[in-house]
Amino acid sequence: MEEKPKKNKIILVGYRATGKTTVAQALADRWSFGWVDLDVWIEEYAGTSIAEIFAKRGEPFFRDLEAQVVADALALPQPLVVATGGGAPMREESRKIMKENGVVVWLTASVETIVGRMRGDASSQSRRPALTGADSLADEVRELLERREPIYREIASLTVDTDGKTVDEIVCEIADSAPVLFM
C-alpha cells in the first residue's frame, strides 16, 4: 500500500496553465485528501472574477486578498492539495506560510505549451487579466516567467515538468517522490 505524506498540505505552484488545478484534483483523489483552487476561492469571496477584481480594485488589492486566502487555506486542519494562483508565491509572507505548512511542488511547462493551453481555455482569458504591457501572449508569459521562476525555484521541494505528460504521469511523479519529500 502506498504511504500517504505525513505533512498534510501539498501546495502546487507555477505559472498559469501548467496544470495546477487538474493535478490538484487528481492528487487529492489518489490520497483521499481535500483540494482547493485558490483562484476559485478568491472569486467566491469577492463575488466576481479575478479580471473584474483587477479592473475595479487593482492588483495590490487582489494580491492582499490572495495572500489572505493562502493563509486561510493553509490554516485548515485537514489534509489538502492546494492549487495556487501563479502569482501567489510572489509575496514573502505567502512563501513563508507555504514552506512552513506543506510541501511545495512547482509545475513547469514551456512557453509554447503554456500559450497553447491558455488559448485552448476560453475561461483563462476571460477570468484572468493581462499582467504586462507585452505585445503578445508569448511575450507576457516569457516576461512573467523571468520574474517568477527564481521564486518558484526557491520554495519548491520538487519540480515537475508537465510538458507532454498526462495527468496520471504527473501525479505518479509526485507520488513517487512522496517518501523522500513528505516524510
pLDDT band at 182 (very low <50, low <70, confident <90, very high): low
Share of the chain above pLDDT 90, in %: 76
pLDDT band at 67 (very low <50, low <70, confident <90, very high): very high
- CATH number of the domain within which 27 lies: 3.40.50.300
Query: What is the mean pLDDT of the segment spanning 89-99?
Result: 95
Per-residue pLDDT at 178: 74
pLDDT digits (tens, 9 = 90+) for 43-62: 999 999 998 999 999 989 99
* Residues of the domain holding 136: 11-173
The 3-state secondary structure of the chain reads CCCCCCCCEEEEECCCCCCHHHHHHHHHHHHCCEEEEHHHHHHHHHCCCHHHHHHHHCHHHHHHHHHHHHHHHHHCCCCEEEECCCCHHHCHHHHHHHHHHCEEEEEECCHHHHHHHHHCCHHHHHHCCCCCCCCCHHHHHHHHHHHHHHHHHHHCCEEEECCCCCHHHHHHHHHHHHHHHCC
Q: Does pTM surpass 0.85?
A: yes
Structural domain count of the chain: 1
